């Protein structure tokens, strides 16, 4: 009786390479999961934050009537959504995506209807600002 081992070894040698790439190329490792969105609010005024390219930052300002938040360098931080803010009665919010390496500020100013009427009111405005770096 013949031993089955030569057939078993031949099967392993022929089948194992088929489990991967047939061209011998290496399989790339899975990319890193996207970084979670960073949520900033009223209490984050004055912060400095760091984002990865592709990471989102959501700004939600509820303590006062703000204009919708903007980024001073849109090429670095692209604003992808905005809601509320002056002249609506809803809290100001905006979402930004870190598009490329660089530095940008996200800011918003408080606003009131009386500042747009005649005569204008002399109400103080407040600046909300966060510095963002994308390495």
pLDDT digits 0-9 by tens, 67-113:
999 999 999 999 999 999 999 989 999 999 999 999 999 999 999 88
pLDDT at residue 22 is higher than 50: no
**For residue 106, how far is the Cα from the chain centroid?**
13
Quickly state the pLDDT bin for 3 (edges 50, 70, 90): low
Residue spans per domain, the chain: 35-134
pLDDT at residue 114 is higher than 90: no
pLDDT at residue 21 is higher than 50: no
Residue 39 token pair: 């949520």
**Which of the listed CATH numbers 2.30.30.100, 2.60.40.2020, 3.30.1130.10, 2.70.70.10 matches domain 35-134?**
2.60.40.2020
Q: Does the predicted TM-score (pTM) go above 0.95? A: no
Exposed / middle / buried, residue 132 (Cβ in 10 Å: 0-12, 13-18, 19+): buried
């Amino acid at each position: 009786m013949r031993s089955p081992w030569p057939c078993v070894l031949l099967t392993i040698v022929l089948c194992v390479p088929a489990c991967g790439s047939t061209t011998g190329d290496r399989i790339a490792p899975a990319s890193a999961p996207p970084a979670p969105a960073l949520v900033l609010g009223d209490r984050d005024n004055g912060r400095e934050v760091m984002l990865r390219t592709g990471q989102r930052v959501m700004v939600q300002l509820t303590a006062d009537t703000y204009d919708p938040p903007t980024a001073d360098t849109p090429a670095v931080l692209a604003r992808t959504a905005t809601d509320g803010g002056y002249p609506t009665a809803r809290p100001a919010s905006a979402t930004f995506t870190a598009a490329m390496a660089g530095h940008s500020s996200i800011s918003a100013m408080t606003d009131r209807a009386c500042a747009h009427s005649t005569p204008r009111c002399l109400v103080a405005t407040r600046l909300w600002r966060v510095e963002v770096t994308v390495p």
